[in-house]
A and B are shown apart, each in its own frame.
Chain A
Amino acid sequence: MNFSFDENYLLSQLALCIERGKLNSSSKFPADMISQPGVEELLPELLSRNISPKIILDNGLLIGMNRVGEKFRDGKIFIPDVLISAKAMNAAMEILRPYIVKGDLKLKGKVILATVKGDLHNIGKNLVRMVLEGGGWEVIDLGIDVSSDKILDALKTNDIKAVGLSALLTTTMLNMKDIVRDIKNNFPEIPVAVGGAPLNQRFADEINADLYSPDPQGMLDYLNNNFSLN
């Protein structure tokens, strides 16, 4: 690729800001980057130099998010830092939104998330949403206490790549079984990921889910590995 030294530098700085969750020059964290420019300064600067949104996404933002994923997998950072990066990423995507709306920039695909029937625990699912959106996926969040019907409806009316289900208690996670079965009966090609505090791989296998992950990153990696970009 043919960028000037400056632009390559800006792209690598942008990746660093995503990796470290540096939003803008006035944000107080990370403490070692105080008063340095952040995503909200670097990204508009790159756009003003006619660097295409796709290059910015692929060669800046997603490089930063991939490093976050690596550090999380290696146990160097934990959920809060991942969220902080995802927040910076969400701010970046907000700036790029006009290009997405126009169709100049495509997201990776759509995913459904839901907390299952009988369960009202929301925060775990919301964190998954934030990380998936930060990774360039579009999320249709069906909320809490969600039954099969609602998910099947959303699958009928959207081009969906995968479904993610969340539960908090062993009593409510049992409802996942019927939901996975209903999805598999109607949309056998759609992978279903399950997660939440009481779950484990054994239970996911028993109910024929395609993926169990104890954290959002696992689902993001699964999506990135199984569905090629654009």
Chain B
Amino acid sequence: MINKINQYFFSFNELNFDEEKLIRAFKDFSTQNVPLLKNTWNQLYSFIQQNCKAVAGYRYFESDSISYQNNILIIDDTQFNLSPIIYRDLKDATDIILFVCTIGNKLEEKVQELVSSGDTISAFILDRIASELVELTADLLENKIQSELTSVGYNLTNRYSPGYCGWSVSDQKKFFSLLPENFCGVRLTESSLMLPIKSVSGIYGTAHNLIRKDYHCEICDDEFCYRRKTDKGIII
């Protein structure tokens, strides 16, 4: 069975971020300026490779510590007021996984250094690359968890994070109270900001033979959500 608590350290190479992903992440650069993007990437590459410290971990809660009630998920004694959109998906899960991942603060510090030296464009590029890397860390963690679960016939729901799909970001406090202190090197400030900044937290449900649902944007009223899908089902 899957470990109750687990941590992974991923090398930069495992994250698999290459020039193709770079170009995809910067589609808003005009073609004429792509040489600048590639040049900056080449200059920053070895720094990123050496200083991207991807760490990801999760805590697994079995069914005896989970209960559900009217859009509320209760883990041990902690209540999460999930929005209908998340509740609808998670309520079929018997077990719950809370995860955190980060790439550390070295890239963030470098962004600051670049800004201070007046190179705001390189700072902007590195900042966005760092965001991509932490998302890739979360994807890699998902693969790890899913492959451990597959062996026992369990599947994961979609991934949800405090601050998305109507789940309040202030629930981060309760979320972190269920994890060991400084888990994966991430801590929370008074205002619910995770440090290092390039960190992500989230939740999965899991159950035997669970079928993963589609995202359901039409029942969510957050007209400003940047992940909102259009009528054609494309995430804008």
| Pairwise interchain contact A31-B32, C-beta atoms closer than 8 A | yes
Instruction: Determine which of B29, B34, B169 lies in contact with A171 in the assembled complex, contact meaning CB atoms within 8 Å.
Output: B169
| Pairwise interchain contact A172-B193, C-beta atoms closer than 8 A | yes
**A-B pairs with CB below 8 Å: how many?**
96
| Pairwise interchain contact B36-A83, C-beta atoms closer than 8 A | no
Give the docked Cα–Cα distance between A158 and B4 (Å): 57
| Pairwise interchain contact A87-B32, C-beta atoms closer than 8 A | no
Name the interface size band of chain A.
35 or more
Q: Mark interface residues in B27-50 (1 if CB within 8 Å of A CB, else 0).
A: 011111111110100000000000
Give the docked Cα–Cα distance between A28 and B43 (Å): 14
* Contact A121:B197 (CB < 8 A) given known A80-B29, A84-B121: yes
Give the docked Cα–Cα distance between A29 and B32 (Å): 7
Chain B residues, Cβ within 8 Å of A40 = none
Give the docked Cα–Cα distance between A83 and B121 (Å): 7
Give the docked Cα–Cα distance between A6 and B115 (Å): 37
B96 CB within 8 Å of chain A: no
| Pairwise interchain contact B121-A168, C-beta atoms closer than 8 A | no
At the interface, is chain A mostly helix, strand, loop or mixed? helix
Q: Which chain B residue has the least Cβ–Cβ distance from A131?
A: B120
Instruction: Determine which of A28, A33, A81, A119 lies in contact with B29 in the assembled complex, contact meaning CB atoms within 8 Å.
Output: A81
Instruction: Determine which of A77, A90, A172 lies in contact with B191 in the assembled complex, contact meaning CB atoms within 8 Å.
Output: A172
A46 CB within 8 Å of chain B: no
A213 CB within 8 Å of chain B: no
Chain B residues, Cβ within 8 Å of A196 = none
A218 CB within 8 Å of chain B: no
Interface residues of B in 181-236 (CB under 8 A from A): 189-193, 195, 197, 224, 226
Give the docked Cα–Cα distance between A120 and B39 (Å): 29
| Pairwise interchain contact B34-A127, C-beta atoms closer than 8 A | no
Chain B residues, Cβ within 8 Å of A126 = 115, 120, 123-124
Task: Report B's interface with A, CB cutoff 8 A.
Answer: 26, 28-37, 39, 111-112, 115, 118, 120-121, 123-124, 127, 163, 168-170, 189-193, 195, 197, 224, 226
The 4 closest A-B pairs by CB, nearest first: A118-B191, A78-B28, A30-B32, A29-B36
